Structure formats: structure tokens, C-alpha cells
Structure 1
């Protein structure tokens, strides 16, 4: 790339020199001829304005000027692409000024222009021409540019002498100079001296010597003396023939010298362009060889480096996509990880830089594994703290429940018995929260049964562990049972969903719980009448339930959801949340077929409870006997001492309800002693059922 850049610059210089030569041979030569004809027409026009006589000589000069204009414009067309953008502007300006020649001549012919005004109009055209000359001098060679610029200055000085000659030519007719004309001549003389001094000083010896000879000649000295006399007196010279002859010879010598000097500069430019192109060929050839050699070396080095980088990339991808995720997954499962064994260095060979990068990756790997192990150890420590606290709390709660059992057995007062029931309900909820901590720590709560437990008992027990259980309606469910080792966790799972439904639904709305035996297992639905969630929130929660992540201590607001996800993952249960047709949320729990056992049909809470089937064992704390009535689905009806009263067939359609039998005769109200004996008998029956359930649970 560098070789191409340098070659482009060098070729550009050579082409610029060739382009300058082309411009000189076309635009330069014809514009010089155009300048001479304009100067001659200006001098004759000055005489015509003074004499008011349009001579044949003036007409011939105008024809020569028009011919020069045509030749100049033809040459600009031939120059073509050699005319760059920097030259296009001055060229357009000159063409516009040349178009004004007809108007300038008309003003002179009709006498509308004075002598000085007419001269200034021609001066304006010639100024545009000399600005074009300035832009023609644009060669990249600095020495040639300086000489060409100096010659341009000398040419400008020659134009000033021509302006002096044109002004005096008219003044010689009437032998006077007006004050503005005398001032203009004084300005011309000062400008001419400055330009000659400036241009001569910048020329080299070869180009300056001819000008020094002209300036030292007697003719030029005579001219300067007459010029100074006109400036001093403010009047034209008395000897008109001498003035015309002297200034004519000076301009002829300067014209001849200008042509020869311009040709010399053009020759130098052409030689410089040729030499530059020769150097370009030599340098370009050698540079091309060097470039080809560097390409070969770069390709070989690039292939080697590419192979080394490919090996490094493969090792880094294996580290980031396989080894580290595998280590993190093992730590998540609770396995022990040896940092020294797992953080093996990357096997990469190659240059020193590649091996340094590989060592840096190895250091990053070791640090990442150590951090992951430390985080896993911290999480296990936190989980162990949760587990220890939860176990202690669970033990205390079991002791509290045992005390409540004893107090209930010894209590015969209905009001106190109701308070004990409420305390028992709060203790049951506290036990569920303690079990949640055990589940989140990765351990099992410890409750299990030897025999299957009916689904209805599991659902009722789950409802009994919810604070707002009176708003939960349990519908009729097919007679099925769940394996005993899953029953406690399923109870906990359903309780979390039911509690969530009661919390996020209006306080006066019922929560419906129903179940049905399906082809893939047993489905339990918990439906609320709340506001529901957005589709994105449902998708996020269902993703968490399907693939539970590691529990985040900072996300305690979703603790119940994490518990449900952990329990579902443990037993292969699927939990899905979706929008309810009523606007709330429906939670669907699908228990796999392998965990379901067929059982006789079980009634809902608003129906009479049938006798326990043969072989059925009441569940301990899954459905506590003292809260069994409270777990039944609540329908409209009064309560006695805070206990819900069941109404037969309340959930059936009117067409299915049996006609009530004739109202029996009202029996006399029981005495206080009879009531006490009734509650004592109820308490003793509850105690016996509790003891039997405890024995089977321990078995």
C-alpha cells in the first residue's frame, strides 16, 4: 500500500509537469497572442477617442483581435482534460470579459466613453487574462515554479508599459493630460518599477542575464528618463516621434525576451517530466519487486499466525463453552470441584505472543473457577444455615403441634376449642414456611407416607394451610391417589399456588380448585379472579417453573415460585400458568401417571364425607383431623363458634338436587352436660385417628 501511495504521488508529479507543458503549448501560446492584440487595439482606441475618427487601421486591429479570440477559444477546447478545476474559474471569467468587447467598442464608436474610461475597460479584460496566466503556472517542481512565476511578473510589468504607451498615444494628439490621466500614469510608472525589481530578483542567472542587458541598454534608459519627466511635469512628452520610437523598441525587446524565456522554462518542465517518469519506472520496478517479496513473506507469516490463532480460538471456545459451564453445572449440583485439577492450562504452541495470551486465558480460567467454587461454597453455607434454622423451627413447630393436640384433647369448651383450632392453623402455616426454607436449601422436608394418599385429601390439606381458606372452593374430583412419598411435597406445592391465588385476587372473590384424571396423569387447576399478568410475564414465570434456576437471595419476592419450581422438578411434575377466561390466572399442576393410583370417587366439601375406603390410612398433618372440617370447601351458610358449617348439595345444579325429605320432629335442645359429653367423644375420636396416622407415618 505504501509503495502504491508513493508511486501515485510520483506519477502524479510527472503527469502534472506534462500537463503544464500541454497547457503552455495550447492555452499559453494563444493567450500570449491574444494579449498582444488586445494591447494594440487599446492603443489605437485611445487615439480614436481623442480624434473622434474611426480609422481603417482601427478596424483591421479589431479584426486581428477577434481572430486571436477565436484561436484562443479553439486552443482551450483542444487542451481538454489538461485544464483542471483550479484553471476553470479564471478561464470562465476571461471568456465573460471577452464577450464584453463588442459593448466596449460600441461605447468608443458612439463617443460615450472618455479616453481614460475606454482604457480602463480594456485594462479590465487584460487583468482577467493575466489572472489566467497566474493559474497556468502550476508545476510540482519548485525551481521551475519559481522561475515561471518570476517570468509572469516580468510579463505583468510589460503590460504596465503598454498601458503607459496607450495613455500617452492619445495625449500626444491634444498635447495634454487630464489630472486623472496624470495620476493613472504615475501609478503605472511606480507599478512597473516594482514589478521589474521583484521579477528580476527571483530569476536565476541564466534567465536574469538577458533582462539585465535590456535594462542596461541606452534605449531603456531613455525610456525611464521620459517616463520620469511625464510623472514630474504631468504633461505628455514634447517630442512625440522620439517617445513612440523609444517605447516601441522597449516593448519589442521585452516581448522577444519574454518568448525566449518562456520557451526555456517550458523546455525545463518537459525535461523534468521526462526525468521524473524515468525515475518512476526505475523506482516502480524495484518497488514492485519489494512489494511482491513482502507479499510472499506476509502470506507465509499470516498462515502461520492464522494457524496459531485458530488453535488459541479453539482452546478459548472450549474453555468458555464447555469446561467452565460444566464446572458451574457441577457446582450447582453440589459436587466438589478441585480447582487445581479443573483449571488446566491451555495447550497452545506458537510465538511468544500467542503463548502469553494462552497463559493469560489460563489465569482468567483459574480465577473464574476459584470464584465459582467460592460462590458455590458461600451458597452451600447459606443454604446450610437456612436448613439448620428451618430444621430447628420445624422441630419446635412439631412440639407445638403436639402441645396443641394435648390441649385440644383436654378442652371441652367450644370457644376455647375454636381458638386452639385457629392456633393450630397458624402453626400449620408456619410449618409450611419452614419447609420452604428446607426445600430452597436443597433438602427434603422429611414427611412421607407408606401408602398412597387421596388427591382430595391432599387438596384439602393444602387449603387448610392457607390463611384465607374460607375463600377457596374445592370441586368434586375423580377418585385417585398420589404416592405417599410425593403427597407431602404435592400438598406444599398446591398450598403455595392456592395462597398466591388468594393474595392476588379480590378479597370477596372465590378461588376455584378442581382436579381431573387425564391421559398423562392427574391435573389440578387453581383458578383466581384477579387481574392476571401480561404474556411476557406468563412466559417468564413458565420458563422459571420449567427450568428452575439457582435461587437468588435478592429475589425474595418470588420465594413461593422458586419453592413450587423446586418441588415440581424433584418429582417430574409440570406446572403451567396461563390467563383465565375470567381475567385472572389459572395454575395447572400435572402429576405424571407414574405417581397416580386409582381410588374410588371422592366428594367435594359440600357433600357428605364417605367412610374411608379399605386400606386407606389418614394422613398425618397432610390433612390434620382437627382441621378437616375447616379444609372442606366453604359455601354459603352460618358457622357455629367460628367453625364452618357444611350444606349438603350446595354446589349441585337445582335440577340435580334431591327433594328434601319431610322435616322431622324437632328434638328437645341438649343440656350443657350432653354438649360436654358430645365434644369429649369427638375429641377422643380425633385423638385415636391422630395416633393411628402417626404410627403409619413413622412406619
Structure 2
């Protein structure tokens, strides 16, 4: 309504402004230009006579003074009406001003005798032609019919100008009783232009305005004037009776001027009537339109308030659904709770228009769909987790059976080469068991391995390294004597094994991975450092965020399965894991075990006694980590590598003579037989501890 009101008001106000502009132009430029045209016509007639008689009369000087006064008034009026002058009027106005500026040179040519009678006449005609072209743009009337009639009356006035040109030329020719050939041609041209303009003007006038002109053109003054025009054209000489010519011209121009004034008055009445109609339109468009706009504003405000209240209720219900109910429902489903879909997907209750209730129903439908989808996803995740758990348990059982078979085969085998292959197969089986435990952890269950007594940290680290394929590249530094609670030892071993394996995979094959640990004020810290290429800072931040707050495992994100396992194990026991760039260019993984899980020990025994808390198989792998070399692929113990610090304080043992020759096959067979008997005895001890 506001736009429509503004559009209509703009149209009507534009018409009103056009009327005001037209009135301003008429009172300023219109009045002064009319007087200027009359003065120029009079000066032109007297100047042509002066050229013919070669006498500059006092009457000519007075006329020039009146013309100059009219020019000054016109220039002032043009400045006053500058704001009302349209763009299409400025060009003809500038042309007229330029022609008026030539009056001085025109007068000088006449006064000095350089201009002929026809030349002077033509120069004044140019000035008047510029004025009539300006008149054509001086009728800014919004009413089209009034504009057309005004243009036709302007054409009739232009025809009146050609009668004045004929009179000026013939009056001068009557003095010397002759017309030159160019003058006769010019007279013929004036007559033709006058006839054309009269015919054109009459064709555009309506019946009321055209009838007076038709009567004039059929009257005696005009017919006599036309007869004399025809005779002058035929003979090429001025009329013999000067008095008759002057009388006919005076009578004709007087009646034309009177008729033009009467027609202009009639047209002015029509324009006034149109102006009144425009004023009424402005009043209606402004007043009634304003009332309609105000009424629409009041209605819109009331409707908008009601709609805003309804939308606020709908928004509150939607916000509660999206920010409270659905997130709480998802959390309950993630925690494994059973959810009643009919109870949780309650409809959204809002009141208001039909559109608002329809939107509320649509939100309710979306809510039910979302709840069904969330319940279905939760059931799917539980099913997938159960599948993981079942498969992992079955795989774990098969691996335990496989390990038992390997133990039996090792006890029955005395061939060194076969023992080496069995040892490698045993190592692969241990790694497979860790992967099976990873599936159990991702499914949300516990692997099941635990010990009653605290386990030394160094044994946990060695056992973790022993479960890595490329364990020979791992260097375990000396660690302070501390132990970890037996309930968390297996999970910590698994966690460190994942970090160590990740370090060996993403570092050059010829580089070492260092594992070191130390007791700190708030627990025990273990660092795993590799010499790889490292990661961008953004990836470190993303991985650390995952380790601090592990999300629900995404089946599509299997590339980071090891990190998910580490995060779940760390979350279970309150262990903090942090990844950062190593000073050597690789990555350092820092594991901070909380103080609640750490137990101080005054001294850890050396040799096999420090691994007594571990089962036989884990103990065997842990012993392999401290080897510094191999014989036929088997571990070789370093003498006194794990000797107690108090024993080391005694006299240094005598150096063992270096063996220059390899062991004989019999010696190797005896060594592996002893190794087999030792592992069997350790396994039996571990089984007794588990049963206890």
C-alpha cells in the first residue's frame, strides 16, 4: 500500500509540479520573450528601411533602445526561472542567447553600409527563428490535448512571423519601387512557408479554435492580402499601391493578433480546468491514499504482533526440541538406555493461525522421524558393537587355543630352525590377540586380562614393545622403580603397544623409537618418541582433542582405529595422552598415568624376578626386548643387563672370554630345551595365579 500510494502520489505530484513549472516559465521567460519578439520585428522593419534610404533615423535608435531593454529583461527572466527550465529547453535557450549576442554585429553591418537590404533581413530572421524554436519547448503542460492545441496555436503564431517578414521586405521595396531577383525569391519562400504553417496549424486545432481562423481566411482583408502576394510573385515587383498593401497588412495582422489572444485565453481556461483536476487528484491521492496506508499500517502492526507471539511460541518449542530434548535423547541412547518412542516424540503444542499449527505439525513429524532414526541408529550401533564383541571373543578363544598349540609344538621340537619359526609365529599370534582386544575395547567391553598385584612399569613397557612387529628398533631407557596397579596393567600395556607400533610404522625403517619413563609429582609419565616427519599443528590439535574426549567410534573412520583404542583405554583409567612435535622432527607421545594407579617400590629385583608379576608368555616377550643381538633369529641375553643397583656396586665381574666360534648344533638343542622347560614352568605358575 505504501509503494502504491507513493507511486500514484508521485504521478499526480509530478503533474502538479509540471503546472507550477509551466506557470513560472510563463510569468518569466514567456512574457519577456513575447515582448522581445515584438521589439525584434519592429527593429528589423526599421533597419531594412534604413538600409534602403541610407539614413539612420532617430526612430531606429529609439527602437534599438527598446529592443535592448527587452533583451535585458529576457536574460534576467531566464536566470530567475533557471530551476524550472527542463533539460530539453536548455539547448534552444543557449542558442537563442547566442543569437541575441549577435545583435551588435548585425547593427554595425547596417550602420556601416556593409549589409544589403536582404542580408540585414536574413540576419534578423535568424534571431527570430531561434526564438520560435525556443517557443516550441515552452509549453510544459501535463494535459496532452491542451499541449497539442498549444503547439498548433504556436504554429499559427509562427505563420504570423512570416507575414511580418513579407511586410518588412515589401515596405523597403516600395521606397525604390523594385525587388531584386534574390528578394523576389525570398518573398516567394516567405509566402510558401506562411501557407504551409497556416494549413498545418489549422489541421491541429479543434473545431472551437479552428473555426475563427477559417472565418478570417475567408474574409476580405485576408483575400486582398493573398491577391497582392500572388501578384508580387507573378510580376517580381512590389505592388503599385503602397497604401493598399500597408492597409491590408495592418488589418490582417491586427485581426490575427486579436484572434491569437482570444485563442490563448480559451486554451488558458482549459489548462486551468485541467490544473484544478490535477489538484483534486493530488488531494485524493495524498489524503485518501494516506488514510489507506495508515489503516494498512495499523492492521499490519496488529497482525504482526499476533503473528510474532505465535512465532515466538513456535520458536521456543523448536529450540527446546533441538537444544534440549533431542540432545538428551541422543545421550540416553548413547549410554545404552531404552527409549519409549511414543513418550519421547510428544507433539509440539502451539496455538495460533492455521499456518502456525501446520508448521508445528511439521516439526512434530520431523521430531518423530528424528527420534525413530536416533533409536534405529542406537540399535544399529549396539548391534555392530555386539558383532564386534562376539567376533573378538571368538577370535580371542581361537588365539588362546593357537598359543596352546604353539606351546605344545615348542615343547616337542628340538630343531633350532623350527623353534625359530615357531617363535615368530608365536609373536604374530600375540599381535593378533592385541588386535582382537582392540575390537573388544571399541565395542565397549573390557578385554578381561588383569592381575592382583602391582606390575613394574618397566615390565609393562617391555611387554608392550614385545607385541610390536618391529620391536628390534625400539630402545627402552632405564626407568625409576615404580609399579602400576594390576587392574590397569593390561590396558596400559595395550595403550603403550598401540603408540609404539604407530611410532614404528610412521618413522623411517632405519631409525630408532625411544621409550622412556619417569616418576613425576602427579603420577608416572611415559614418553614414546620417533624420528618421523611429524604432523601439522592442526592435526596435533585434532588428535589431542580426540584423545581428551573420545567420540563414539565411527565405522567410516577406520584409519584412526588405533587412536580410538588409545582414547578409550585412557578414558577408562583417567590416563592423559598428549601428542606433540618432537625436537628431532618426529612425534612424541606423552602418557601420564595418574598417581592413584602408581605404587612405589623400594627396589626391583633384577633378572627374571622383576617380571614375576607377568604371565609366562608376557614375561618371555619382555625378556626378548632387552636383547642386544640374536642367534639364528632368537634373543640373546645381555649379562647383568637388569642387575640390581646394589649388586652392581660390588666388585666388577670378570669379563667373559669372547667366544670365537658359534655354538655347535648340540649346544643349540640343549639351550632351546632348557628355554622350553623354563617357559612351561612359567606358564604353569601364571595359570595358578589366574585361578587364585
TM over 0.5: yes
Q: Structure 1, residues 450-493: CA drift from partner, whole Å, max 9, x if none?
A: 33322222221221122211111111222222233322222222
Sort the Cα spacing of 1:474 and 1:146 in 2 relative to 1 into closer, same or farther, 3 A. same
Of 106-115 and 522-531, the range deviating more from structure 2: 106-115
Q: CA deviation at 1:661?
A: 5.1
Within 5 A, what are the aligned runs for 1:403-414? 403-414=405-416
Partner of 1:309: 311
Partner of 1:558: 560
Q: CA deviation at 1:241?
A: 4.6
Partner of 1:625: 619
Partner of 1:588: 590
Q: Structure 1, residues 206-226: CA drift from partner, whole Å, max 9, x if none?
A: 433432332232222233334
Partner of 1:125: 127
- Runs (5+) with no aligned partner, structure 1: none
Could you say what the CA RMSD is over the residues aligned between the two structures, in angstroms? 3.4
Q: CA deviation at 1:359?
A: 1.1
Within 5 A, what are the aligned runs for 1:226-375? 226-230=228-232, 237=239, 239-278=241-280, 280-281=282-283, 284-375=286-377
Partner of 2:488: 486
> How many residues are treated as equivalent by the alignment?
684
Q: CA deviation at 1:355?
A: 0.6
Q: CA deviation at 1:444?
A: 2.8
Sort the Cα spacing of 1:166 and 1:449 in 2 relative to 1 into closer, same or farther, 3 A. farther
Q: Structure 1, residues 153-193: CA drift from partner, whole Å, max 9, x if none?
A: 222332343344445556665733545x6665555444433
Q: CA deviation at 1:430?
A: 1.9
Sort the Cα spacing of 1:638 and 1:150 in 2 relative to 1 into closer, same or farther, 3 A. same
* Counterpart selection for 1:219 from 208, 212, 221: 221
CA contact under 8 A between 1:649 and 1:657: conserved in structure 2?
Answer: no
Sort the Cα spacing of 1:211 and 1:556 in 2 relative to 1 into closer, same or farther, 3 A. same
Is 1:643 the counterpart of 2:634? The answer is: yes
Sort the Cα spacing of 1:542 and 1:101 in 2 relative to 1 into closer, same or farther, 3 A. farther
Sort the Cα spacing of 1:395 and 1:555 in 2 relative to 1 into closer, same or farther, 3 A. same
Sort the Cα spacing of 1:38 and 1:663 in 2 relative to 1 into closer, same or farther, 3 A. same
CA contact under 8 A between 1:349 and 1:355: conserved in structure 2?
Answer: yes
SS in 1 for 2:475: strand
Partner of 1:425: 427
Q: Structure 1, residues 110-134: CA drift from partner, whole Å, max 9, x if none?
A: 5666665554544443333233323
Distance in 1 separating the partners of 2:509 and 2:659:
39
* Counterpart selection for 2:675 from 679, 682, 687: 682
Distance in 2 separating the partners of 1:696 and 1:287:
99
Partner of 1:176: 179
SS in 2 for 1:611: helix
Partner of 1:692: 685
Q: Structure 1, residues 333-389: CA drift from partner, whole Å, max 9, x if none?
A: 333333332222211100111111111121222222223333333333333333333
Q: CA deviation at 1:273?
A: 3.1
Within 5 A, what are the aligned runs for 1:597-636? 597-600=599-602, 609=607, 611-612=609-610, 617-619=613-615, 624-632=618-626
Distance in 2 separating the partners of 1:323 and 1:686:
58
| TM-score, length basis structure 2 | 0.89
Distance in 2 separating the partners of 1:591 and 1:628:
21
- Runs (5+) with no aligned partner, structure 2: none
SS in 2 for 1:135: coil
